[in-house]
Amino acid sequence: MVQHWLCKSEPGNWSIEDHKKKKVEHWDGVRNYQASNNMKKMKIGDLAYMYHSISDKAVVGVMKVVKEHYPDHTDKTGKFGMVDFEYVKHVQVPVHLEEFKRNPKLQNTALIKQSRLSVMPLTECEWNEVMRIGCPDQEPGAKRKRK
């Protein structure tokens, strides 16, 4: 069963555009134990939203886990690890923090309850609600745009 996640990044350090260019990249630098434990739970095929923190404060894209937890080469203590994500797509409409705050289906996310947590789980319902807002063309029954 696919699990769903939200991972925060400061766009000045690592953005969805950076990830798109690299295609696959490790997610390093996590130094919070709860966020690290969340990364340890990630399995190949799990999906994650990339959330631009600081300036945008919005979900901007989708990534997929392609390598499970392994040691983070940037951690001198050897306590923390990382996972590899593959870029999947940008969302069509950024889903801003304000939407999480006002939407009853998103108000209980860790993004609201634990705002400093950088890697957090989402329920399937929360994932689907963000997808409904961010990618309206992919809603069940939505008319697909022809190329």
For residue 49, tell me if it sits in a domain.
yes
Q: Where residue 91 sits, what CATH number does that domain have? A: 3.10.590.10
Q: What range does the domain containing 57 cover?
A: 4-138
Cα–Cα distance for residue pair 137/64, rounded to 1 Å: 20
Does residue 147 form part of some domain? no
Residues 106, 93: Cα–Cα separation, whole Å: 16
31 lies in some domain: yes
On whether residue 143 sits in a domain, the answer given is no
Determine, yes or no, domain membership for 146: no
Residues 69, 71, 15, 113, CA torsion sign: positive
Total number of domains in the chain: 1
In a domain, 94, yes or no: yes
Q: What is the pLDDT along the chain (147 residues), one digit of tens a residue?
A: 899 999 999 999 999 999 999 999 999 999 999 999 999 999 999 999 999 999 899 999 999 999 999 999 999 999 999 999 999 999 999 999 999 999 999 999 999 999 899 999 999 999 999 999 999 987 554 444 433
State the sign of the Cα–Cα–Cα–Cα dihedral 43, 131, 145, 90: negative
In this structure, is residue 112 part of a structural domain?
yes
